[in-house]
Amino acid sequence: MSGIYSKIARDGLWDNNVVFAQMLALCPTLAVTGSATNGLGMGLATTAVLVVSNMLISALRRIISPDVRIPVYVVIIATLVTLVDMGLNAWAHDLYKVLGLFIALIVVNCAILGRAESFASKNPILPAGFDGLMMGLGFTFALVLLGGVRETLGSGTLFSNAALLLGPWAAFLELKLIPDYKNFLLVILPPGGFILLGFLLAGKRLLDQRGNPS
């Protein structure tokens, strides 16, 4: 039994990572990874939606017929995201002011539809929720890594504005790595994101080959 869960965890975090292996969700990935903090915010918001949407779709998998599943998933995910958006705006307004920018982007995140289609629709609720969590954390890891590299090379800082996202205690994360750094524009713009993503992918392949020389 625990074998399934460890496989789900490995898949989500590394082997089948949303960004580094499935190459999904590249649009939000490139859009928000200008800084590590933004990557973290987007990653966490996506994780929350992914867990709930996976569990919901898994619970409904016997009702939803294969022929209309895609529009039904789209309706479910869009509703869920809009509900989160409204709820945060009303009852967690300070958090909303920080995360609000990212929430609208989650709707177009094909990784969520991808997990609904390839995992949640075929598995019971608990593994589906766990898969959502692990895929989400893997996504967060990829975004923070890419955001960290782009921020370091592009603006010479790391985790800037982390205190806005996580609260004042996170101020220690904010580092100014290179004083008086003149911004490296290409890296901050989406093309630079693509190029660095390519390097990170190559790095992952290299690590995988070392571990498994076949």
Partner 1 sequence: MDEPNKPRFRDGIPYQALLLGGFATLATLLLVAANMATQGAIEQRQKEDLQLFLTQVIPPAQNASGLLENKLQLPAPGGKPVTVYRGIGQGRIKALAWELSGKGYAGPIRLILGLDAEGKILGVRVLSHAETPGLGDKIEAQKDDWILGFNGLSLGDPPEARWKVKKDGGQFDAFSGATITPRGVVGAIREGLRFFEAHKAELLDPPKGSQTSGRTEP
Report if residue 170 touches partner 1, rule: CB under 8 A: no
With CB under 8 A as the contact rule, the residue among 95, 164, 166, 200 that binds partner 1 is 164
**Minimum Å distance from CB 207 to partner 1?**
28
Nearest to 26 by CA among 121, 137, 123, 105: 105
The stretch near partner 1 (CB under 8 A) out of 83-91, 108-116, 172-180, 194-202 is 83-91
Which residues on adjacent β-strands are paired with residue 158?
175
Neighbours of 75 (CB within 10 A): 11
Helix (H) or strand (E) holding 133, with range, is helix 125-155
3-state class (DSSP) for residue 135: helix
Number of residues engaging partner 1 in binding (CB under 8 A): 39
Nearest to 180 by CA among 160, 157, 161, 150: 157
The stretch near partner 1 (CB under 8 A) out of 2-10, 63-71, 108-116, 138-146 is 63-71
Nearest to 32 by CA among 158, 174, 193: 193
- The answer to whether the CB of 129 falls within 8 A of the CB of 54 is yes
With CB under 8 A as the contact rule, the residue among 18, 24, 32, 107 that binds partner 1 is 32
Angstrom distance (rounded) from CA 106 to CA 109: 5
With CB under 8 A as the contact rule, the residue among 7, 14, 21, 61 that binds partner 1 is 61
With CB under 8 A as the contact rule, the residue among 20, 102, 130, 139 that binds partner 1 is 102
Q: Which residues bind partner 1 (CB under 8 A)?
A: 31-35, 38, 41, 61-65, 67-68, 71-72, 75-76, 78-79, 82-83, 86-87, 89-91, 93, 101-102, 104, 122-123, 161, 164, 183, 185, 188-189
